Amino acid sequence: MDNVKKSSEIKRFTEGNLTSHLVKFAIPVLLSHFMMILLNTVDMIVVGQRLGEIGTSAVSIGGSVAMFLNAFIGGFSSAAQVIIAMMIGAGKNKQISKFISTVCGFIFVIAIASIFVMLPFTDSMLSLLNTPSDAYSGAYEYAIICIIGIVPIYFYHIISAIFRGLGDSKHPFIFIAIACSLNIVLDIVFVLFLDMGVGGAAIATVIAQLVSVVLSFTVLAIKRNAFELTIKIKDFCTWDKRELSRFIKLAIPMAINNSAIQIAGMVINSLTNDYGVTVSAFAGIRANIATTVDLILGAIATAGAMIIGQNIAAGKLKRVNGTLLRVGIISLSVSALLIVLFLAFPVSIFGVFTKEDAVLEMVIPYLPILIFSLVNAGIRPVTRALIDGSGNKRINLIAAILDAIVARIGLAVVFGVLLKWGYMGLWFGTTLAELVPILIGIVFYFVLVWKKLRKNTDEKDLENGQ
């Protein structure tokens, strides 16, 4: 095994206080997610204040196309983080350089391919989403610009995952904080002063992400010795087949999982948009709030998965249980706080996104569904941390099929269409479906499959990612 040098900045979580590790790693991730929330919502807020519900709807629908691509690359970045964590836990530090250069080169190709695949179908996707005619041109403009600028967006995700896989969650926070600050300034300039509308908001986002990526690559190059990296420029073009295979085997199921959930959301949005621009605008705000909650609690899951990945690879399974317990306590506490806030100030919170009375009148009827969703959100980080941290590709694929394709779409159609509950039925069905991955995670834990995965970690296990 390759021992971590004393001067190394690679962090190991197989020893020491679990609570301290979890909190110290999770706080920068949470702050990063908070900045990502601002990055995602500032467009909607600025455009909504300038153009009203039509602008809000346009950003929401156009952004859903970009969010699909974000979800897709999110699966790849999660896989990269887990694999790097397992390499560290198993003491295979020398393999990390080959893995990083291979993954970065591969992601660049995937990003370029995504542009050429998505551009011809943008119009069709917006049509399938039943985009209201008033918001169509804005939604199309927003989606096209985000697709063209997908390379820096992809690389922000993957570079952040590399830093976190190495145990450094502080630098990704710095990068996204800079991007967020720049995005806010550019939104004000492009949308409010230059009157560039929805397209200006999209351009601001792409430019901010590009600056963030340049900074992240620069810092990674400067700190390569501290992270024990021996990467040369040519390595990004000469991929290691074994590392690429290991990555793809885990990344594809995770990407399918994330993408399937996003596709399910787009299908439900399509059904929702049939109810007009007011409901469409509310749906966009609702989705933004749901994303915000997921990003907040996802920080806890990300930190938990990182620690769990190292300890499963090291065969320290008692620390896995201890991590799960701490993840549950923290996430449920955050969920309870959010429930109190939404019960106390529901209209005020939704009012941050819009001033339209017709949209705000929908808040109170939706509140019970929101509270149900927040309860689910408090439980989900526990099972998500275990599943992601285990690096099990099959369970991710099963969760994707049952959660997104079967449950979310199926239950939304049952309550929204068959039982004729309307758009509230669509949202209730989606919320009910959130229980599916929780149940899958509980079964995964109690049948003890995860213990067999890494109990006797060897190089073959790491290569297969099973």
For 257-288, what is each residue's pLDDT tens digit?
777 777 777 778 778 877 877 887 888 788 87
Cα separation, 248 vs 259, in Å, equals 15
Instruction: Give the position of tokens 């901010």.
Output: 208
Over residues 227-254, the mean pLDDT reads 82
Phi, psi of 178 (to 5 degrees): -65, -45
Cα separation, 312 vs 259, in Å, equals 27
- 396: DSSP letter: H
Neighbours of 109 (CB within 10 A): 10
Using an 8 Å Cβ cutoff, are 9 and 168 in contact?
yes
Using an 8 Å Cβ cutoff, are 31 and 173 in contact?
yes
**pLDDT of res. 333:** 94
Q: Is the pLDDT of residue 298 over 50?
A: yes
- 345: DSSP letter: S
Over residues 13-25, the mean pLDDT reads 89
Over residues 293-322, the mean pLDDT reads 87
Record the tokens describing residue 358, joined without a space.
């017709």
Chain length of the chain? 466
Using an 8 Å Cβ cutoff, are 198 and 139 in contact?
yes
> Of 155, 158, 128, nearest to 143 (Cα)?
128
Cα separation, 10 vs 89, in Å, equals 11
Cα separation, 176 vs 191, in Å, equals 21
Q: Is the pLDDT of residue 454 over 60?
A: no
**pLDDT of res. 458:** 43
| 454 or 221, higher pLDDT | 221
Instruction: Give the position of tokens 């198993």.
Output: 90
Residue 310 Cα to chain centre, angstroms: 21
Cα separation, 65 vs 41, in Å, equals 15
Over residues 409-423, the mean pLDDT reads 86
Record the tokens describing residue 110, joined without a space.
């995937």
Over residues 402-411, the mean pLDDT reads 76
Axis crossing angle, helix 197-222 with helix 170-187, rounded to the nearest 10: 150
Record the tokens describing residue 279, joined without a space.
């409901």
Axis crossing angle, helix 18-89 with helix 317-344, rounded to the nearest 10: 130
What is the tens place of the pLDDT at every residue in 358-403?
Answer: 888 888 998 999 999 999 999 999 998 988 888 777 776 777 677 7
Record the tokens describing residue 248, joined without a space.
């793809």
> Of 117, 99, 113, nearest to 158 (Cα)?
99
3-state secondary structure of 2: coil
Over residues 209-236, the mean pLDDT reads 84
Residue 245 Cα to chain centre, angstroms: 23
What is the tens place of the pLDDT at every residue in 123-162?
Answer: 888 887 777 777 888 888 888 998 898 898 889 889 988 9
> Of 358, 357, 438, 457, nearest to 88 (Cα)?
457
Using an 8 Å Cβ cutoff, are 159 and 84 in contact?
no
For the four alpha carbons of 383, 389, 392 and 397, in that order, the dihedral sign comes to: positive
Cα separation, 123 vs 126, in Å, equals 5
What is the tens place of the pLDDT at every residue in 184-214?
Answer: 889 888 888 888 888 888 898 889 889 988 9
Q: How many CA atoms lie within 13 A of 168 on its CB side?
A: 19
Q: Which amino acid is at 456?
A: N
> Of 48, 353, 45, 62, nearest to 206 (Cα)?
62
Q: Is the pLDDT of residue 456 over 90?
A: no
Domain ranges of the chain: 18-464
**pLDDT of res. 451:** 59
**pLDDT of res. 382:** 93
Answer yes or no: pTM beyond 0.85: no
**pLDDT of res. 452:** 56
Burial class (CB within 10 angstroms; exposed 0-12, middle 13-18, buried 19+) of 346:
middle
Band of residue 1 on the pLDDT scale cut at 50, 70, 90:
very low
Q: Which amino acid is at 459?
A: E
| 7 or 444, higher pLDDT | 444
Cα separation, 91 vs 389, in Å, equals 17
Using an 8 Å Cβ cutoff, are 182 and 236 in contact?
no
Record the tokens describing residue 286, joined without a space.
């609702």
Cα separation, 166 vs 169, in Å, equals 9
